[in-house]
Structures are given as structure tokens and as C-alpha cells.
């Protein structure tokens, strides 16, 4: 064991530690990074002192994620000797947060004192809230508020009080109750103040004088506060209420006078005594005089129509017994002249006993005979309208666009398959529409709201009651306000299902007819294709044998000409000529067949250039002939370039052929406008033809000139087929020995 005395630093530290530990307030003793906490600090933080034995543990435990910032503030204060008291929010071990004031002092060692001000700040906050509530109540109250001392002097006032009395705040704070009260003397006011002090509070009515000299009625509610020796008072301007009460009194007087003059009968029934009062109008409605009978329940029952008596009496008894507070019923009463008048009776109980039974009833009788007559007439008209709508399957509607409310007739409810009481609006109506038409109807209706005033459309609905689909025809007309906005639409909706079914039946028949026509057309087209295919096959298969016949016939003539008799030679030459014609005919048949199968490739074709090319080619075949070719310039058309050239070749070739016996041939290619349509033509001055046979021109193998001119009779048939495939038409005009003109059209589309 060491016998040396402890060092002074250790002794000082022990002493300071003991002092800090005895301090009632939370305190810390800090040496470098070491921290000593007293018991009060443990109580404040919830941590044991060994859990907070270092500055790092202190800041990490009490400041969490903010520990680095808190440590920086501490180091700065430590460096400057803690010049100010700093407020910090710490987190206790249980997770609660406390607001503390931290003060530090350096006396060799650093000592910090912590002061928990959380509760103090809460109290201050509550005081601020109470003060703010008091300020808000005083400043926002519609009632006037002032504070008055025992001498009646005004010491505080709110804006509402200034408004009620017409003074400014500064003016009222220089005044007393004696300057404002218009009913009490100074002595009476002082006595009143003493009474309130004794009672503690009071509520009363008094009259105050405003700055402008007017006197107003006010209701005062005041409480004496012993602590401040002042009266806290609310005042309310009741001048309007007083005026209303006076107006009510006058109104009741006027009502009494009006009751004597009104056309409605007034009655008052004292149930216990079975007596009461009938106004003069009560008697006048039925044509009686007051002396004819005294007011009583018995008299009233005797005047009731037998069919209405039980119902009317039951309604009254329900009110008397307390099952209803009031009643309203329509019934007939017998007039003095024996007629029956319809009466609307109203009444209510004004006094009841402890069991709830009425002691007194008061009510009115109103003559509604004319209204009931009008209602009966209206019912008859409505019945006629309903029947007409039912017979015609026609419903009506009235749509309030502003409030989105849709009202329907009973027939329209039946058409829609909905209950009469079903709420209806635009969305409900749109939900009834078949999905196939719903979006279209939404767009159509939206356009109607801005662009049109009339609506009509056929569409399908799905009835909610049975899921049945129905066709309807709806019409409507809009009503617009002064700014042009639609506010209402009225119209009709007719069930046209039967008509649509009839149309569908007719449509089916038409479609069946179209189908049969298409089927027959298809069969015909197939037959034509088969015929063309057959023609092509036959023509193609005949070419080889014909070539053999022609070739062998020529070989026999060439090789054995000196051995063949003249007559045999003639026959062989006829065989060669016939086979040549047969070959040409086959070529023409093949060309006709090809024209029907080739695909059209339309484009802009310059007919003038094509005609010039064809003319040049034809001229080369007969160079010895003098022909005037007249070709118009800039002839263009939409056509298949190859096929239209074939048309020109056939027509211009025929023109050259049939002008062979003309001394000076003239062939013209041009265009003309006939009946508003541009057509093209090929005209010649040749042999022409008899118009009586014009219908035979374009038939295959039909030749009007016999053997006078060569040919197979296929060329014009080919022209017609090409022009028809282009959607055009071809025709001819001619005169025997007067030339011929062939026209054809080529539509642009």
C-alpha cells in the first residue's frame, strides 16, 4: 500500500465529483472526453451514468442522428467559455424528448448545469393559447364586449361593441355607463352595480344611446370578476328582435282581420265542450248563414258526403288521439242548395293533455270544387293521351338539363321496361342504350347541346326488366336560355321494333335475292371463263395441225408441181388459203381470250402519240396507198397502255381496210364532248355500213360486208371487251358508202 498523499488534481476531481453528485439539478462534470453525471441527470435522461461516461456516448445517446451537429455546437461553446445559455432537445432512453437549457462554466474542469424547461414551455404555450382564444372571442364575437370597473368606467372594449354603439375605441375608453345608458339615472346605475356584485352575474334588457343619438334595445349579460374588481359584459343589439315582436303583434291583428275577410273558412274546435268557431267564410263556402247552425263536430259530420265520411272522421280522430300532429284531407260537404262542394280540410292540435290527447284543434276549409273539376277533366285528357301513346307505342319525356332530371310518360316506362318510380337522369338513359349505339349517341347528344335544337335518331335499347333488345325512334327539341345555353329538352320515343323487324325481313329477302344474283353471276362468269379457257385450248391445240396442213400442202405444190394435175393443184392452193385464214382466226380468238384475262394497269396514256405510231406501222403495210392521217394533238386518257394500243390498232386497221376502194382515204383520230362526257373517235370516209345492222358490229364473227373485205369478225368484239373492262362504252355511226365513225369513252376514275 502506498503511503504517498493523493495528488492535488485527484483530490480536486474527487471533491468536484462529490459536489456535482449532491446537486439537486442535473449536472455534468467533464474532463477532456470523460463525463461524470449526477443522479438528477440520470433521472432526466433515463440513462445510468456509466452509459454516459464519455462525450461520444453522451451525444450519440441523447442526440441520435444529430449528434455530430450537437457536438460541434458544444465544442464551439467550450472553446469560447460558454458565453450564453443554449437550448437543446434531447431524447431520453424511453424515446421521449425534452427541452433543456444548458449552461457551462470552466473552473479547471468543465461543469454543465441542465435545466429541464419542457413543462415550463408547455405552460407558457397554454397561457399563450388561452390569451389567443380570449383575443379571438373578443375580436370575432358578433356581440359587443366591454370591461367596466366598479365606478362604471369602460376600461376595455371590442370592435363589435364600437359598431353597435357607433363610437370609436378611443371614445368609449373615456366614457362610463352613465354616458350610454338611456333608462337609468346615475343613482340607479350605481345601485344596479352593487346588486350585480352581490349576485355575481345578471342578464337583463336595457336601452342604450348611440353616438348618433338613436336609442337601441340591448340584452346585457354581465359577470363580476372579484380578482380584477371589474365586470366582463357582453351586449347584444336586440332592436331588430323588438321590432320583429312588434311586427308580429301587428301581424296577428291583421290576421284576425284577414280571417274575417278570407275566402278560406277558419274553424276552431274545443273538443271537450264540442263547441268552437266557424268564420264567416266557412258559412259562405256552403251557402249557409251563421244562424243556420252552431259550430260543432256533430254538425260537420252530418254535412259530410256518405262516401267520404268514414275517411274524413278517421283523419280527425288520428290527430285527436295523438297519432298525428296535424292532418289534411279532401272530402265533399253538402251545400245549402243541395249540391256537393269539394273541401280541402287542414288542421292541427294546439293544446294536448298529459296523455297526448288534443284539447283543441284549429284549421281551415278551402273550396276546391273548381280544382277538382279541372283535375277530372285533366285526368280524362291524360287518359286519352295515355291510350293514344299505348296504341301508337309512343312515349313522351321532359328532360331538365340544368338539374339532370328526366321525366317519362307511363308508356315510355313500358317501352323502356322500367318502373315508374325509378330515378331517371341522362346517365340512366344512356345506360339503356345498346352498347352498339351508346358512344355514337353520347357524341351526337354532345353536339346537339352546342350546335342544334332538334334531335331525331333511330337506335336500340336493352330493357332492364327482361333484357330484351328493342328498336326505338327518338325525337326531341331543345329550349335555351337568354345566353343560348340548353336548359330543357322535350320529345317523344316510339317503339319501332316491329317496323325494324319487317325491314329486316325485307332486307333478308333482298340480300337473298342479291345472293342469288351474285351466285348466278358467278356461275355465268365461271361459264364464260370456262368458255374462254376452252376457246384458248381449242385455238392453241388447232395451231399445230393447221401448220402441218399448210406446210405439207406447200411442200406438195413445190416438190410435185409438174406431176400434179391442174385441178389437184387448185385444191391444194385452196387448202393453203383456208388453213391461213383458219390460223388468223385462231390468233384473233387467242387475242380475244387474252384481253379478258390480262390484268389492267392503268396510267396516263398519250393517245395522240400511240395513234401516230399505229398509223406509221399500218402505212408501212400498204406503202402504195395515199392516206390522209388526221390525228388531234394532246389526246390523253387513263388506260392500260398495251390494251388501248390494241383498240387503236383494231379501229385504225379497220378504217384503213374499209377505205381500200376510196380514191383518197381520210382517217381522223380525235375527241369530242357528248352529253358532258369526253369521248374519243376514229372516223373514215370508206365503205361505211347500214345502221340497221349496227347491233351486229361488236358480236364475234359477225361481218356486214361478207367476203368483200378480208377479216375474221373478231376485231370489234375485242375492242368492245377492252373498253368495257376500262368501265367505258363503245358505239358506231355510219352510212353505206359514206364512211363510219367509232366512238369510245374512257372514264378518268
3-state SS track over 52-108: HCEHHHHHHHHHHHHHHHHHHHHHHHHHCCCCCCEEEEEECCCCCEEEEEEEEEEEC
Among candidate residues 285, 292, 290, the one with its CA nearest the CA of residue 265: 285
High-pLDDT (> 90) share of the chain, %:
12
Under 8 Å CB-to-CB from 607, ≥6 apart: which residues?
635, 636, 637, 644, 648, 669, 680
pLDDT over 60 (residue 197): yes
Query: In 635-692, which ranges are E strands?
Result: 636-640, 665-674, 677-684
Q: Which of 299, 352, 292 is nearest to 326 (CA)?
A: 352
- pLDDT-derived band of residue 579, with 50, 70 and 90 as boundaries? low
Confidence of residue 574 (pLDDT cuts 50, 70, 90): confident
Beta carbons of 606 and 633 less than 8 angstroms apart: no
pLDDT value, residue 304: 92
As given in the structure block, the three cell numbers for residue 581 are 385464214
pLDDT at 528: 64
Name the region of 230 (left: φ>0; alpha: ψ -120 to 50; beta: rest): beta
CA distance 468 to 559: 94
Q: For residue 731, what pLDDT is reported?
A: 92
Q: Are 680 and 735 in contact (CB under 8 A)?
A: no
Q: What percent of the chain has pLDDT over 70?
A: 85
- Rounded-to-integer distance, Cα 2 and Cα 6, Å: 10
β 109-116/97-107 pair status: antiparallel
Q: How far apart are CA 554 and CA 152, in angstroms?
A: 158
Sheet-wide strand order for 394-400: 405-408, 394-400, 486-495, 469-480, 454-462
pLDDT of residue 121: 79
The whole-number pLDDT of residue 342 equals 93
Can you give the pLDDT at residue 667? 92
Given a cut of 50, whether residue 10 has pLDDT beyond it is no
SS3 668: strand
Give the pLDDT mean for 150-177.
88
Mean pLDDT (the chain) is 82
Rg (CA), the chain: 60
Residues 741 and 667 sit within 8 Å (Cβ to Cβ): no
What pLDDT shows up at residue 409? Answer: 82
Closest alpha carbon to 84 in 104, 108, 64: 104
Instruction: Give the C-alpha distances (Å, rounded to integers) separating 145 from 136, 140, 169, 194, 241.
Output: 12, 10, 12, 20, 19
- The mean pLDDT of 555-559, rounded to a whole number, is 72
Strands 201-209 and 340-352, by their bridges, are: unpaired
Which position has the higher pLDDT, 126 or 43?
A: 43
The neighbour count for residue 581, using CB atoms within 10 Å, is 14
Instruction: Please give the C-alpha separations between residue 512 and each of 508, 519, 527, in angstroms, as whole numbers.
Output: 6, 10, 22
Q: For strand 469-480 and strand 486-495, is the pairing parallel, antiparallel, or unpaired?
A: antiparallel
> Does residue 571 have a pLDDT over 50?
yes
Mean pLDDT of 673-681: 90
- 352498347: which residue's cell? 435
C-alpha cell recorded at residue 17: 465529483
Distance (Å, whole) CA 63 – CA 52: 12
Please report the sign of the dihedral spanned by the C-alpha atoms of residue 441, residue 447, residue 449, residue 452.
Answer: negative
> How many whole angstroms separate alpha carbon 152 and alpha carbon 204?
17
Quick check: 419 pLDDT over 50? yes
Q: In sequence order, what E strands does 188-285 have?
A: 201-209, 215-225, 230-237, 265-270, 275-278
The mean-pLDDT minimum among 156-170, 240-254, 530-544, 731-745 falls in 530-544
Q: pLDDT at position 491, please?
A: 86
CB contact at 8 A, 641 and 601: yes
Cell numbers standing for residue 280 = 264567416
pLDDT at 215 over 80: yes
Read off the pLDDT of residues 274-300 as tens digits, 9 standing for 90 and up.
Answer: 888 888 888 888 999 988 888 888 888
pLDDT band at 578 (very low <50, low <70, confident <90, very high): low
- For position 442, what pLDDT does the model report? 82
Residues 230-239 pLDDT 10s: 888 888 888 8
Tell me the β-bridge partners of 525.
none
CA separation for the pair 446, 426 (Å, rounded): 12
Give the C-alpha separation, 95 to 64, whole Å: 11
Separation of alpha carbons 659 and 700, rounded Å: 22
In the chain, what are the domains?
A: 8-116 (3.30.450.20), 123-243 (3.30.450.20), 262-367 (3.30.450.20), 378-495 (3.30.450.20), 512-597 (1.10.287.130), 600-745 (3.30.565.10)
Whether 539 has a pLDDT exceeding 70, the answer reads no
Residue 378: its pLDDT value, please?
A: 83
Residue 541 is predicted with a pLDDT of: 63
Read off the pLDDT of each residue in 459-471 and give the average, rounded to a whole number: 88
Of how many residues is the chain composed? 749
Question: For 469-517, how does the pLDDT look when each residue is reduced to its tens digit (9 = 90+)?
Answer: 889 888 888 888 888 888 888 888 888 888 888 888 888 888 888 888 8
Q: What is the pLDDT, as a whole number, of residue 8?
A: 46
Average pLDDT rounded to a whole number, residues 700-714? 64
pLDDT at 340: 93
Whole-angstrom distance, CA of residue 106 vs CA of residue 147: 54
Average confidence (pLDDT) over 550-571: 72
Q: Residue 247: which H helix or E strand, with range?
A: helix 239-261
* Nearest CA among 406, 443, 413 for reference residue 428: 406
> What is the chain's percent helix, strand, coil content, to nearest 5?
50, 30, 25
The CB-side HSE value for 342 (13 A sphere, CA atoms) comes to: 11
Global pTM exceeds 0.75: no
Q: Is the pLDDT of residue 396 over 70?
A: yes
pLDDT at 526 over 60: yes
The string of pLDDT tens digits covering residues 625-673 is 889 999 998 899 988 888 888 889 889 988 888 888 888 899 999 999 9
Extract the C-alpha cell encoding 466.
327482361
What's the Cα-to-Cα distance from 433 to each of 27, 299, 414, 468, 509, rounded to whole Å? 83, 60, 15, 12, 28
Amino acid at each position: 500500500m502506498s503511503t504517498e498523499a493523493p495528488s492535488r488534481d485527484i483530490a480536486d476531481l474527487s471533491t468536484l465529483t462529490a459536489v456535482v453528485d449532491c446537486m439537486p439539478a442535473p449536472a455534468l462534470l467533464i474532463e477532456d472526453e470523460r463525463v461524470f453525471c449526477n443522479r438528477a441527470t440520470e433521472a432526466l435522461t433515463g440513462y445510468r451514468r456509466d452509459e454516459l461516461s464519455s462525450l461520444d456516448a453522451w451525444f450519440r445517446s441523447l442526440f441520435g442522428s444529430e449528434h455530430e451537429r450537437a457536438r460541434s455546437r458544444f465544442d464551439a461553446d467550450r472553446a469560447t467559455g460558454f458565453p450564453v445559455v443554449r437550448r437543446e432537445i434531447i431524447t431520453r432512453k424511453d424515446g421521449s424528448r425534452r427541452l433543456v437549457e444548458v449552461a457551462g462554466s470552466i473552473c479547471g474542469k468543465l461543469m454543465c448545469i441542465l435545466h429541464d424547461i419542457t413543462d415550463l414551455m408547455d405552460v407558457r404555450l397554454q397561457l399563450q393559447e388561452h390569451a389567443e382564444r380570449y383575443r379571438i372571442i373578443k375580436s370575432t364575437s358578433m356581440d359587443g364586449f366591454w370591461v367596466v370597473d366598479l365606478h362604471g368606467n369602460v376600461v376595455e372594449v371590442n370592435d363589435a361593441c364600437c359598431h353597435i354603439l357607433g363610437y370609436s375605441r378611443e371614445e368609449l375608453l373615456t366614457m362610463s355607463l352613465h354616458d350610454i345608458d338611456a333608462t337609468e339615472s346615475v343613482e340607479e346605475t350605481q345601485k344596479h352595480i352593487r346588486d350585480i356584485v352581490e349576485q355575481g352575474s345578471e342578464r337583463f334588457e336595457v336601452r342604450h344611446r348611440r353616438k348618433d343619438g338613436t336609442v337601441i334595445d340591448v340584452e346585457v349579460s354581465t359577470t363580476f370578476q372579484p380578482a380584477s374588481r371589474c365586470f366582463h359584459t357582453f351586449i347584444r343589439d336586440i332592436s331588430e328582435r323588438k321590432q320583429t315582436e312588434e311586427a308580429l303583434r301587428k301581424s296577428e291583428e291583421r290576421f284576425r282581420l284577414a280571417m274575417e275577410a278570407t275566402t278560406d273558412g277558419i274553424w276552431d274546435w274545443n273538443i271537450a265542450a264540442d263547441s268552437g268557431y266557424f268564420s264567416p267564410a266557412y258559412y259562405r263556402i256552403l251557402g249557409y248563414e251563421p244562424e243556420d247552425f252552431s259550430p260543432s263536430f256533430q254538425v260537420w259530420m252530418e254535412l259530410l258526403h256518405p262516401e267520404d265520411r268514414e275517411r274524413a272522421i278517421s283523419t280527425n280522430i288520428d290527430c285527436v288521439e295523438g297519432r298525428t300532429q296535424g292532418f289534411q284531407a279532401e272530402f265533399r260537404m253538402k251545400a245549402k242548395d243541395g249540391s256537393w262542394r269539394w273541401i280541402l280540410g287542414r288542421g292541427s292540435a294546439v293544446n294536448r293533455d298529459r296523455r297526448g290527447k288534443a284539447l283543441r284543434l284549429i284549421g281551415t276549409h278551402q273550396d276546391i270544387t273548381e280544382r277538382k273539376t279541372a283535375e277530372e277533366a285533366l285526368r280524362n285528357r291524360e287518359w286519352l293521351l295515355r291510350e293514344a301513346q299505348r296504341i301508337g307505342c309512343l312515349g313522351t319525356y321532359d328532360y331538365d338539363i340544368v338539374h339532370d332530371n328526366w321525366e317519362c310518360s307511363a308508356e315510355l316506362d313500358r317501352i323502356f321496361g322500367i318502373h315508374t318510380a325509378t330515378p331517371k337522369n341522362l346517365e340512366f338513359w344512356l345506360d339503356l342504350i345498346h352498347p352498339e349505339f351508346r358512344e355514337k349517341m353520347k357524341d351526337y347528344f354532345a353536339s346537339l347541346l352546342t350546335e342544334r335544337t332538334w334531335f331525331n335518331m333511330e337506335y336500340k335499347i336493352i330493357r332492364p326488366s327482361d333484357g330484351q333488345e328493342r328498336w326505338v325512334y327518338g325525337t326531341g327539341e331543345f329550349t335555351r336560355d337568354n345566353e343560348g345555353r340548353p336548359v330543357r329538352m322535350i320529345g317523344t320515343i316510339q317503339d319501332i321494333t316491329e317496323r325494324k323487324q319487317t325491314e329486316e325481313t325485307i332486307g333478308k329477302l333482298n340480300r337473298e335475292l342479291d345472293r342469288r344474283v351474285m351466285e348466278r353471276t358467278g356461275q355465268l362468269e365461271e361459264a364464260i371463263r370456262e368458255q374462254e379457257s376452252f376457246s384458248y385450248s381449242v385455238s392453241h391445240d388447232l395451231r399445230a395441225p393447221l401448220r402441218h396442213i399448210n406446210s405439207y400442202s406447200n411442200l406438195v405444190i413445190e416438190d410435185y408441181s409438174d406431176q400434179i394435175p391442174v385441178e389437184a393443184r387448185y385444191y391444194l392452193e385452196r387448202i393453203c388459203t383456208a388453213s391461213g385464214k383458219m390460223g388468223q382466226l385462231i390468233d384473233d380468238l387467242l387475242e380475244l381470250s387474252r384481253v379478258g384475262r390480262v390484268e389492267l394497269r392503268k396510267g396516263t396514256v398519250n393517245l395522240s402519240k400511240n395513234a401516230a405510231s399505229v398509223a406509221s406501222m399500218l402505212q408501212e403495210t400498204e406503202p402504195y396507198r395515199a392516206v390522209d392521217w388526221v390525228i388531234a394533238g394532246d389526246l390523253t386518257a387513263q388506260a392500260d397502255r398495251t390494251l388501248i394500243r390494241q383498240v387503236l390498232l383494231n379501229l385504225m386497221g379497220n378504217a384503213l381496210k374499209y377505205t381500200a376502194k376510196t380514191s383518197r382515204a381520210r382517217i381522223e383520230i380525235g375527241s369530242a364532248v357528248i352529253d358532258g362526257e369526253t369521248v374519243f373517235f376514229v372516223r373514215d370516209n370508206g365503205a361505211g355500213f347500214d345502221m340497221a345492222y349496227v347491233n351486229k358490229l361488236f358480236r364475234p364473227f359477225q361481218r356486214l360486208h361478207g367476203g368483200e373485205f378480208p377479216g375474221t369478225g373478231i376485231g370489234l368484239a375485242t375492242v368492245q371487251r377492252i373498253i368495257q373492262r376500262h368501265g367505258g362504252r363503245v358505239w358506231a355511226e355510219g352510212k353505206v358508202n359514206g364512211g363510219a365513225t367509232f366512238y369510245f369513252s374512257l372514264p378518268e376514275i
